[in-house]
Amino acid sequence: MIIKAVCRGLLDALYPPICHLCGELSYGKYPHCCPVCFDSFEPVAPSSCELCGEPFTVGQVPHLCLACIKEPPPFKWCRGVFLYQGAVAEALSGFKYKGHLSLQVPLEDAMSTGLKAVASLPEADLLVPVPLSMPGLR
């Protein structure tokens, strides 16, 4: 463990870690995701559709959105943890498409923290990532 920390310190001195999201020096817990970018991950508001999880633009008591009332989706419940914008979108895109595998740990930590904040999380049969592309569309 000590050897790993010393090696990490030497590498950081020679090649300072740069945040993959903003390009600034990364000085926090994650070598390639600075604290400013990590803290800017915007969670989905608790005011959202009870079925599909679409956030409402203004704070409301959770209920079904118009789209789910008109045509219910083929699932019982779905929820996102973060809005797909800003630093989260950049981090996921960098991880998926640019090979920035060093973003795995900050994304895991953010997802873990975000899932704990989701109110009334029902028992899930399946936890799935958003696919890279539709099957057969390459």
Question: Per residue in 21-38, pLDDT tens?
Answer: 998 888 888 888 999 999
Please report whether residue 35 resides in a domain. no
Which residues contact residue 50 at a Cβ distance below 8 angstroms, ignoring those fewer than 6 apart? 62, 63, 64, 77
> 65-87: per-residue pLDDT in tens?
999 999 999 888 888 888 888 99
Instruction: With respect to residue 45, please indicate whether it lies within any of the assigned structural domains.
Output: yes
- Residue 50 domain boundaries: 40-119
Q: Is residue 2 part of a domain?
A: no
Q: What is the pTM of this model?
A: 0.71
pLDDT at 118 over 80: no
Q: Is 71 domain-assigned? A: yes
Number of domains in the chain: 1
- pLDDT averaged over the chain? 81
